[in-house]
């Protein structure tokens, strides 16, 4: 049974519109059971299914999952191969159910790093679900927040050099418009699992005003009750955006 939602206080929103999750703890989950890390990743894929379903049922508008960072390419080759295979399996096996449930799938990051077969599956999944009006599921793959901001800065520099934009007109909105998430609302709530308390280069620009919840639950064990508990904590907070309240 999930946690009972807390009543909102003051101007606290009733529900987060956009929840972002750093899915952490697959390796520790496997190690605690004497299993290879790949077993933790497979169980983590099951957690993705649970949480996507729960987010849609709870009325969350956008769910962004940090599936593979730009730094993850440094991991052992067999682990990277397993993760790539799990991604392709997810795209093949889950897209039908996602589409039937009205989920729109988006992928941000350097997808080309995953090879042409995976890119083709991503493009097919995005095209199939593009018109869906339910939960927007954003998967961050080969993604790094600093690289995203640097790419936006390069694009602005190129546009300024070409005379397409006045440098004096470059503001926060101009940067935001050139990010992967240009048409996606910023996260209201950032969750990290496994007890770690850092953001690990994830959505650095976008989480400027996000509430953060750090869950001790390892990602493979994360379920609807954990998501509801994080949302309840969010709803119990007063968000001032730098202002003051009485």
Catalytic center residues: 24, 72
Does 235 belong to an annotated binding site?
no
Q: How many CB atoms lie within 10 A of CB 143?
A: 26
Angle at which helix 37-58 crosses helix 77-100, to 10 degrees, equals 20
Residue 92 assigned as binding residue: no
57 is in an annotated binding site: no
* Tokens matching residue 112: 């080309």
The tokens for 202 are: 């994830």
Question: Binding site annotation covers 33?
Answer: no
* Residues 19 and 192 sit within 8 Å (Cβ to Cβ): no
Strand ranges inside 41-133, DSSP E: 62-69, 104-108
Contact in structure between 168 and 227 (CB atoms under 8 Å): no
Is 211 known as a binding-site position? yes
Ligand-binding site membership of 205 (annotated): no
- 166 annotated binding-site participant: no
Q: Was 226 annotated as part of a binding site?
A: no
29 annotated ligand-binding residue: yes
Q: Could you report how far apart the first and last alpha carbons of the chain are, in Å? A: 36
For residues 167 and 23, give the distance between their C-alpha atoms in angstroms, rounded to a whole number. 38
The reply, when asked if residue 24 is annotated as ligand binding, is yes
Query: Looking at the DSSP assignment, which residues form a beta bridge with residue 212?
Result: 190
> Residues comprising the binding site for Mg(2+)?
24, 211
> Residues comprising the binding site for substrate?
25-29, 37, 41, 69-71, 73, 75, 192, 198-200
> Residues comprising the binding site?
24-29, 37, 41, 69-71, 73, 75, 192, 198-200, 211
């Amino acid at each position: 049974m999930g946690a009972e939602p807390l009543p909102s206080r003051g101007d606290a929103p009733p529900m987060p519109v956009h929840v972002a999750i750093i899915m952490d703890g697959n390796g520790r989950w496997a190690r605690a059971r004497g299993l290879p890390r790949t077993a933790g990743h497979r169980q983590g894929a099951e957690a993705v299914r649970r949480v996507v379903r729960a987010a849609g049922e709870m009325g969350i508008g956008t769910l962004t999952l940090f599936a593979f960072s730009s730094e993850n390419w440094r991991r052992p080759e067999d682990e990277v191969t397993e993760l790539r295979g799990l991604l392709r399996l997810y795209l093949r096996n889950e897209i039908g159910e996602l589409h039937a449930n009205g989920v729109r799938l988006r992928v941000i990051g350097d997808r080309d790093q995953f090879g042409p077969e995976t890119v083709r599956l991503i493009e097919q999944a995005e095209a199939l679900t593009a018109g869906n009006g339910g939960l927007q599921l954003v998967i961050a793959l080969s993604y790094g927040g600093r690289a995203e901001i640097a790419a936006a800065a390069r694009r602005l520099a190129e546009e300024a050099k070409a005379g397409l934009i006045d440098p004096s007109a470059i503001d926060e909105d101009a940067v935001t418009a050139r990010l992967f998430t240009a048409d996606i609302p910023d996260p209201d709530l950032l969750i990290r699992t496994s007890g770690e308390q850092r953001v690990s280069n994830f959505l650095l620009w976008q989480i400027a005003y996000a509430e953060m919840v750090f869950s001790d639950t390892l990602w493979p064990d994360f379920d609807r009750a954990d998501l509801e508990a994080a949302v309840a904590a969010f709803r119990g907070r007063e968000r001032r955006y730098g202002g003051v309240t009485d």
